[in-house]
Amino acid sequence: MGNDQKHHSHPQIIKRLKRAQGHLGSVIEMMDAGRSCLELAQQLHAVEKAIQQAKRVLVQDHIEHCLDDAIGPLEPDQQKRIDEFKAIAHYL
């Protein structure tokens, strides 16, 4: 797969990352304003979770849609194992 290939989840991921970027900017402003460390930690945790979720969606989408392209047609028992792999990846 080339680096320029765009997946159907990318617009959703970009939206999440832009939201996290804005939130991070707000946290920086909060730090400049001298807000409490507890508040800052809570907000940084929220930014971290948003980025983590964006990464999760990206990885799951890649596994879900690119794995089949990479390995090609399979026998039913082999496909079942790949489907199980895809299913367990949702628990990452």
Residue 65: what pLDDT?
81
Smallest Cα–Cα separation from 60: which of 92, 25, 21?
92
Sign of CA dihedral 73, 76, 81, 82: positive
DSSP state of 4: T
Show the tokens assigned to 81: 């194992």
Specify the CATH number for the domain of residue 78.
Answer: 1.20.58.1000
Within a domain: 4: no
Residue 51: what pLDDT?
96
Within a domain: 58: yes
Within a domain: 67: yes
Show the tokens assigned to 87: 């299913």
Within a domain: 28: yes
Within a domain: 57: yes
Q: Whole domain around residue 43: which residue ranges?
A: 10-89
Distance between CA atoms of 16 and 55, rounded to whole angstroms?
10
Within a domain: 54: yes
- Which pLDDT tens digit goes with each residue over 32-52? 999 999 999 999 999 999 999
The number of folded domains in the chain is 1
Residue 4: what pLDDT?
54
